[in-house]
Amino acid sequence: MKPTSSWRTLYIPLVLALAAGVSVGVSLMSCGGRDSDRVRVDLGNRLKKLSDTQDAFAGVAALAQEWVVSITVRESRRPRNFLDLFFTPPEQVKGGSGVVVEPSGWILTNRHVVEGATSLDVVFADGSQYKGVRYKAARDTDIAFVKINGGPFETAPIGDSDEVRVGDWAIAVGSPFSFDQTVTVGVISAKGRKISQGRGGSYETFLQTDAAINAGNSGGPLLNLRGEVIGINTAIFSPTRTYAGIGFAIPINRAERLFRHLDKEVVPASADNPAWLGVSVRDLLEEEQVQLGVEGGLVVLQVTPRSPASRAGLREFDILLGVDGAPVWTRSDLIDILEEKEPGEEVALKFLRDRTIVEVECRLGKRE
C-alpha cells in the first residue's frame, strides 16, 4: 500500500526538524565547550594572582623575623599605702614589640612600652636575647628608641607612609599577649586619624588599619606588601580593650624624622631638649577658613607669659599660618616642625591679625 500524499506532507518536515535539532545541539555543545575553556583559563589566572599574593604575605613574614623583636619590660612599683606593702607586687612585667632600625642595635618601639622600665629584655625570632642598656623617648609623641649591644644587626627596610593609600594591604607583626612573631593581615582603613597622645593633650596623626592589633603589638611594625615598614602599631579603639577591627599606627615618616635628628649619643633631640614655642592652639574650622580666605591655620587660644611666642608678640586669637615658610594648617603640622628645631634656634612666624598678614622672628626656647 503506497503512502498517501498527506503522509508525505507530515514525514518530510519531521525529518528536516530532527536534522536541524541535531545540528543546533552539536553547535550548542561546541559553544559550551569553548565557554568552559574560557572559564577554566580565567579561573586559573585568578588563582595565580591569589597564589602570588599569598606568597607575598609569606615572604614578608619570613623577612620580618630578622628585625622584629619582642620586648619584655620590668618596672618597679612603689606602694601607695600600707595595704600595698602586702598586696601589691614590687615589680610589674609588661611586653611589647620593636623594630631594629640601626645595625649598631637601636630599636624603634613605643614610649608607653618602655617608659618607667627598670630592665629591658629584647628577644629575636631565633631566640637570641639581649639586654636593653638604655632607652630614650620623645616627649610629645609615643616613640622611643631602645639600645642593645652587639651586632651588626639586620635592619628593617623603611617605606614612605606619605605614599600609602586607603585600601592598600597592611601586615602587622608583633607579640600580642606574648605570642611572638604573630602575623596578621588587613588593609589601610583610613589616613590622617588624629588622636590625643602624649603630655599636654597633643595630637598625633595615625594610619588606621583593620589588621588585628592587641596588647603586645605596640611598637611592632605595620608593613606593606614589599616588606617595608610604613607604621609603628600603637593603639586600638575597642570597648573590650581587645581587637575590634580598628587599630592605629604612627606613620613611619614621623618616626624617621626623629631618628634622623639624633645627637652624637644617638638620643632623640626632642627627648631632653624639645624646642618650645609657648602657645595653646586649635585647628581653624572650615567655615572660619572660608570667612578669612585661608586654606588652614591655627587659632591661638593662649600665649604663655614670658614664652618665646610672648616675646615675639604673638597674641590670643591670632591665626598662626606658618613657621619658617612651612604652612601650619593643623596642630600636627606645628608639632612636626618644632620636633625638627632646637632650643635657641630662630624661626619666622607668619600669622593673621585683623585680616593683616604679620611676620616676626622668634627665638625658640626650652620647655622645663
Residue with cell 614664652: 307
CA-CA distance, 206 to 235, in Å (whole number)? 9
Contact predicate 248/235, CB 8 Å: yes
CA-CA distance, 360 to 167, in Å (whole number)? 43
Of the candidates 253, 251, 222, which has an alpha carbon nearest to the alpha carbon of residue 340? 253
Give exposure, 162-176, as e/b (b: 16+ Cβ within 10 Å). Answer: eebeeeebbbbbbbb
Which of the following is catalytic: 121, 140, 142, 336? 142
Contacts of 77 (CB under 8 A, 6+ apart): 88, 89, 90, 91, 92
Which of the following is catalytic: 70, 97, 112, 283? 112
CA-CA distance, 315 to 300, in Å (whole number)? 7
CA-CA distance, 187 to 278, in Å (whole number)? 39
Active site residue 112: yes
Neighbours of 132 (CB within 10 A): 22
Which of the following is catalytic: 97, 189, 218, 307? 218
Annotated active-site positions, please? 112, 142, 218
